[in-house]
Structure 1
């Protein structure tokens, strides 16, 4: 993916629209706000990233026309793109530990983060793991896992956040990307149930399969 971070930073700095406070006020302290570049109905004041009716579709908002460098990034995604937002966590603000239900690659939807403005004092945690995101990188994080952010710096942290649908192209990108994997709680519980049933069957084949699943589960949880 070709990301001209300097051009994108310039575009974001020139946007004059008012940032709107994130709607999930229980999930943060301080100021966490958004600008919509693509939204249901193409409305700039709609920062909700989900369709609320069968008649809605995702469309670019007028703000997208002011961001040609961001448009190039979106054009390079060979998968259906849903919402595109700029999310601003101001200096001293925190996003509390939370999870976005069903928002995960395995469930058919991926949320991509491209840090536009950030620094080493911005701490992004997925579960208990610190994710060292740097400006101009593209990251996928399983939002179905508990995650949180602390902006301990003296400047705003702004991410370009893209929600897209998983297709064969995106699967291929993920297969060849660097990964840091951790099982989410629901998957762990499901795997434990499968292991228990395999052990109940008590045949050489099922016991071998159960041992293999246990080994994989331990490895992913410890990593």
Structure 2
């Protein structure tokens, strides 16, 4: 999700040693390779589709995995965010490894804030985002602008472990964000609330509906024009892209009033989508965005892959 600053610290603090002990008690066998097989990157799913740690799907109810249910303080840490929680993992980065520079451009992450709680770390672990570099200390709570280019480097020998929560937020969560501290703001008077390990039992509000069967025309319009807002408005090609987007929106709306997301008319929706994508000329597709990606990359990630879901 786009944020007004690269990094924002939330006013929460956790006992990293207790969290680390819960994770250590789970054993090594629960850790999994990163889905993209990035060297030195591994993960431990905590909330996954159907509660199955082997399920990498973004679709369906996100439920606690058996590993999370064995970690009461980790559970309480997630619940303390006051958010409706989506996919959640522990992310481990081995010593002398990195998370390579990238932008989180996928559909699932575009509307979700990514929360980081460092659990095992050291001062030389550096997190870069939008040209800024910080160290997230153990027990702190941070969010960052995933739409900007970012990377992580661990140049020490010890592994780094972060709790990583994807969420659309919630009333309590946005209150925390409003009280947050930008990474470069003075820490004078900054006093995060400590979430104790022995606090009351917690409950989690969890995602159940996350990926549409058919994207509404208003979401189509919102996403296409959101991408165009990231382009240079002085370029004529930006207006060409806007005109093409508006024509696609009108076609999609004419189908929506016939079929909506009933599951009918899927072939007609796909035909309209393919016509739009095939009509994009190379020059228009190469329209650059502020984060270093291209307009067509965003269109493919947010619309091309997601406007009509494959239904079995």
Matches within 5 A, 1:211-222: none
1:94 and 2:106 aligned: no
8 Å CA contact 2:43, 2:90 repeated in 1: yes
1:15 and 2:26 aligned: yes
**How many residues get paired?**
184
Q: Which runs of 5+ in 1 are unaligned?
A: 197-223
The corresponding residue for 2:46 is: 37
1:71 to 69, 75, 95: 75
2:121 to 102, 118, 122: 118
* TM-score of the aligned structures, taking structure 2 as reference length: 0.53
Shift of 1:44: 1.9
Q: Tell me the distance in 2 between the aligned counterparts of 1:66 and 1:88.
A: 19
Shift of 1:166: 2.3
1:193 to 206, 228, 233: 233
8 Å CA contact 1:4, 1:69 repeated in 2: no
1:85 to 85, 89, 100: 89
2:147 to 144, 148, 162: 144
Q: Which runs of 5+ in 2 are unaligned?
A: 1-11, 185-226, 237-312
Shift of 1:68: 0.8
The corresponding residue for 1:154 is: 157
Structure number, greater radius of gyration: 2
The corresponding residue for 1:204 is: none
Shift of 1:142: 1.4
Shift of 1:129: 1.2
Larger relative contact order, structure 1 or 2 (CA cutoff 8 Å, min sep 6): 2
Return closer, same or farther for 1:188/1:126 CA change in 2, 3 Å cut-off.
Answer: farther
Q: Tell me the distance in 1 between the aligned counterparts of 2:147 and 2:156.
A: 27
Q: Tell me the distance in 2 between the aligned counterparts of 1:97 and 1:104.
A: 19
2:180 to 177, 181, 196: 177
Shift of 1:104: 9.6
Provide runs of 4+ in structure 1 moved above 4 Å: 102-105
